C-alpha cells in the first residue's frame, strides 16, 4: 500500500482497479525481470496474513515449480512402458523364486501341472 493511499481495505476493494500501465511490446517483457526490479513494498494477499515481499513470492513460485517438475518426472518414470514391463517381470519372477533366489517348489509344481494339463488337452483335441 502506498503512503498516499489512506483508504480503508473495504474502500479499496469497492473501488475499480487501476488501469494497467501500457507496455511497449508484449515480446519485450521478459518473464525473469525480478532481478532488475527494485524491491517493492511487502504484499499481503489477505488481511492478517504475514507480509511477503515479491522476492519471497517468486522464491515460493520457483520452489513450487521445482516440486511440480519433480513430480511430473516421477510420474513419467512410473508409467514408462519399459519400467511397467520390468515391474511385471519382477513380480512374475517373485511368484516362482523367493527373495533369496531359491525356487518355490510348490508353485513351480502347480505351474508345471497346469502346463502339462493344457498340453495334454491340446494333444487329445488334435487326435479326436
Distance CA 120, CA 61 (A): 66
* Residue partners of 64: CB distance under 8 A and separation at least 6: none
Write down the pLDDT at residue 103: 84
- CA within 13 Å, CB half, 85: 3
Asked whether the whole model's pTM tops 0.75, one would answer: no
**And the C-alpha cell for 48?**
492478517
Q: What is the pLDDT of residues 69-104, one digit of tens each?
A: 999 999 999 999 999 999 999 888 888 888 788 888
Q: Is 80 helix (H, G, I), strand (E, B) or coil?
A: coil
Flag whether pLDDT at 26 surpasses 70. no
Ramachandran assignment for 48, one of left (phi > 0), alpha (psi -120 to 50 degrees), beta (any other):
left
Q: What is the pLDDT of residues 104-124, one digit of tens each?
A: 888 888 889 999 999 999 999
Amino acid at each position: 500500500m502506498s503512503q498516499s493511499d489512506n483508504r480503508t481495505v473495504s474502500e479499496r476493494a469497492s473501488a475499480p482497479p487501476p488501469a494497467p500501465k501500457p507496455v511497449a511490446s508484449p515480446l519485450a517483457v521478459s518473464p525473469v525481470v525480478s532481478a532488475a526490479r527494485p524491491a517493492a513494498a511487502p504484499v499481503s494477499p489477505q488481511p492478517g496474513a504475514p507480509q511477503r515481499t515479491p522476492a519471497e513470492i517468486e522464491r515460493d513460485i520457483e520452489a513450487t515449480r521445482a516440486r511440480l517438475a519433480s513430480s511430473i518426472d516421477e510420474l513419467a518414470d512410473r508409467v514408462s512402458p519399459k519400467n511397467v514391463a520390468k515391474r511385471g517381470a519382477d513380480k512374475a519372477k517373485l511368484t516362482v523364486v523367493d527373495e533369496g533366489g531359491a525356487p518355490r517348489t510348490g508353485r513351480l509344481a502347480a505351474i508345471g501341472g497346469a502346463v502339462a494339463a493344457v498340453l495334454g488337452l491340446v494333444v487329445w483335441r488334435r487326435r479326436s
